[in-house]
Structure 1
């Protein structure tokens, strides 16, 4: 049995240099991992993970952070990159379900689309918000992770832990 690392493969078996995180990046990546772990373990049922504002480049919203968290030491590009790595870690494919629309009290439109993940009881929900009279580009786009079944259902905890073990390396890359 060959137990050596294979530098020609990616992810799990490749040798890679240490990621050069700043202290703030390290702290955010760890917080993001903990929030994902909580979702996978059933300790939380929803995680609003990213919000983009297409008309305001450079403005994003990320997971809630504790008081005193050094978000000001992180640029939006870094926050977005780390968050997209987390979404890609969970995501199964690019094709989503049908787009559903609802109108809000001010005449704006919410479009909601659900995407599958690697985990049968977790979905990605994309919500595009269009203000009234502005039809071409959304005001904001929010990506959230949702549990869609009882988090205590038998077997899924072990399945999540196993999948997490095999896929965790992709998040840290």
Structure 2
């Protein structure tokens, strides 16, 4: 199926197929990369970075997906703009995915109604599989898993805070 040498990357390539299916795969096929979503995106408007245009995120995901899961991508990757999944691409995907706020404004402006937030969710899931989650987010996730809340406090302290909030209201 793939010709990735690094076993960790090979596992990620296999997980990519799971992460990009259904509506995400359809959206990758439909996106014309017209850029009409650009002016609606807070991340792009705020930074001016082309990588923050929602269609650019879709295009980067498509390049990697195409490399492993389309015939032309496997046979003639350079011809179709397909890219290997490597550390450099994962770094780029991480910058792209975690600056997106998932507000879905891009879907309102897309002439095809593509929900870029769903694609970003797939990218984030793949990054989580690769262990590339921002440290602060991982800390809150661990706290929620271990303590049942993102503050990392025990149940008694959590209930004390809820009571305090009730008094303040």
Output the TM-score relative to the length of structure 1.
0.25
More strand by share: 1
Output the TM-score relative to the length of structure 2.
0.26
More helix by share: 2
Q: Mark the structure with the bigger radius of gyration.
A: 2
